[in-house]
Amino acid sequence: MSEQLSKRIFAELESLVLIDPHTHINPHSAASTTLADIMGYHYYTELAHSAGLAKELIEEPGIDPKEKVGRLVTQLDDLDNTIQLSWLLDICSEFFDFQEDAITESNWEKLYDTAAEKMAQPDWEQQVLKQSGLEQVFLTNDFDDPLEGFDTKLYIPCLRTDDLVFHLVKSETRERLAKATQMDIGCAKTLRDAIGELFAHFTAKGARACAISLPPDFSPVAVTADQVDSTVRSLFAGNELTCEESKTVSQFVFWTLAEYCAVHRLPFDLMIGVNRRVYEAGVFQGQDLYDKRTSLILYKELFNAFPNVTFPVSVLTSTSNQELVSYSWIFPNVVINGHWWYSNTPAFIHFDCKSRLEAVPKTKQVGYYSDMYKLEFALPKFRMYRRVLANVLASDFVIGRNWSEQRAIDLGKLVLRGNVETIFGC
């Protein structure tokens, strides 16, 4: 009974056309051109490296795409237990008619060639969007992105602000900001005005969110222009800052971003808890990890100061998830957002999904985002989440609480699609 019920709910959720509210898609090259684009996703390179494949073999300069895939294939048998490999097989089955249960050294070349032939079709991007059931895809745009040359109604701009907050001490970042805004920046007021110009540019192009990833120890507090002006003047004069001065500038910029989110009514996506370059010898994008120092108590001043700004929050652990559930329970402007990175496996999703659905208002949950770099990953990632969600809805709501099947399906559709529309104004 439970298994059949779950399958029926899953089938209904699987038919839902989606908006993906957080990706790293390049809208100028959204779909893959070879299997190397898919298997070069950091999940596969970091897992292959972890299992014994040398970094130098994975990241050899100028390596031919087919050669790279061949090298990664030698490690896939060690990874066949992982959910990430199931995504790969799902992609190959759905898009390239691959019928075997493993990618091996004896069959990968045929798969590679078949994939290359399909990807070369002029409408490949549209095929992937249609087969994946994607209506809109949110981007992660650098602050100086001109946002030109793509359909901003399909690929929704999002102002990513990590560089502004944490790398303004680099002359390159300051130069990019001056060029993007065409402003002479030299004090706190002109820095604030420049950030305002970025918001005007992004919102004019249809941006629906501002976003940032944050380390565990970052604490956003109000820093006024007067308090930081002399430091900003020194920075833009080309002087080096102390660690404490850099921290103060970061806090000022971050607080200014929140203020402009309030002005422009943009949600401010906070992805909290990542330490960069923990494994310094790791492959590209396979160096970052979390730790348990993360606490949302560091954000209490922010959440209290901006009651009219919606903060979709992502965290990396189930421990942090319990805290996030509690904050979303209490704060009207704190919204639960997806299952991020190291929490993006069925075991963690199941536990976190149950706790969220049991405790947080149903209208304050963005069930999932793909975080993908290539369009082909939306299908297997969302399918994984929908399976978990269907199981929770069947066991906990239809069987556990005597809900009707349709009522449970409606809840699933709300967290998958409806809330994305209302929270991000789609």
Instruction: Please state the domain count of the chain.
Output: 2
Pair (148, 204) in one structural domain? yes
Q: Decide if 15 is inside a domain.
A: no
Distance CA 349, CA 368 (A): 10
Q: What is the pLDDT of residue 228?
A: 97
Distance CA 34, CA 335 (A): 37
Mean pLDDT of the chain: 96
Low-confidence winner among 25-29, 36-40, 90-94, 318-322 (lowest mean pLDDT): 318-322
Q: Give the end of a domain, one of 86, 119, 152.
A: 119
Pair (296, 376) in one structural domain? yes
Pair (89, 146) in one structural domain? no
Q: What is the pLDDT of residue 78?
A: 97
Let me know: does 413 contact 386? Beta carbons within 8 Å.
no
Q: What is the pLDDT of residue 122?
A: 97
Pair (173, 269) in one structural domain? yes
Distance CA 420, CA 360 (A): 16
Q: Decide if 150 is inside a domain.
A: yes
* Position 236 confidence tier, pLDDT thresholds 50, 70, 90: very high
Q: What is the pLDDT of residue 294?
A: 86
Q: What is the pLDDT of residue 1?
A: 58
The helix (run of H) or strand (run of E) holding residue 259 is helix 243-264
**Local structure of residue 397 (DSSP, 8 states):** I
Distance CA 105, CA 75 (A): 10
Q: Write the CATH number for 168.
A: 3.20.20.140
Q: Decide if 28 is inside a domain.
A: no
The strand ranges marked E within 104-162 are 134-138, 155-156, 159-160
Q: How, if at all, do strands 289-290 and 274-275 pair?
A: antiparallel
Q: Decide if 205 is inside a domain.
A: yes
Domain that holds residue 74: 34-119
Pair (175, 251) in one structural domain? yes
Q: Decide if 9 is inside a domain.
A: no
Q: What is the pLDDT of residue 178?
A: 97
Pair (303, 177) in one structural domain? yes
Q: Give the end of a domain, one of 103, 119, 135.
A: 119
Pair (50, 197) in one structural domain? no
Pair (267, 409) in one structural domain? yes
pLDDT tens for residues 128-169? 999 999 999 999 999 999 999 999 999 999 999 999 999 999
Let me know: does 383 contact 131? Beta carbons within 8 Å.
no
Q: What is the pLDDT of residue 197?
A: 98
pLDDT tens for residues 183-210? 999 999 999 999 999 999 999 999 999 9
Pair (134, 61) in one structural domain? no
Distance CA 408, CA 193 (A): 47
Pair (365, 294) in one structural domain? yes
Q: Decide if 208 is inside a domain.
A: yes
Calculate what percentage of the chain has a pLDDT beyond 90. Answer: 96
pLDDT tens for residues 335-387? 999 999 999 999 999 999 999 999 999 999 999 999 999 999 999 999 999 99
Pair (96, 206) in one structural domain? no
**pLDDT at residue 261 is higher than 70:** yes
* Position 95 confidence tier, pLDDT thresholds 50, 70, 90: very high
Q: Write the CATH number for 63.
A: 1.10.2020.10
Distance CA 205, CA 195 (A): 16
Q: Give the end of a domain, one of 119, 141, 176.
A: 119
The number of beta carbons lying within 10 Å of the beta carbon of residue 185 is: 19
pLDDT tens for residues 50-85? 999 999 999 999 999 999 999 999 999 999 999 999
Pair (255, 385) in one structural domain? yes
Q: Decide if 8 is inside a domain.
A: no
Q: Decide if 27 is inside a domain.
A: no
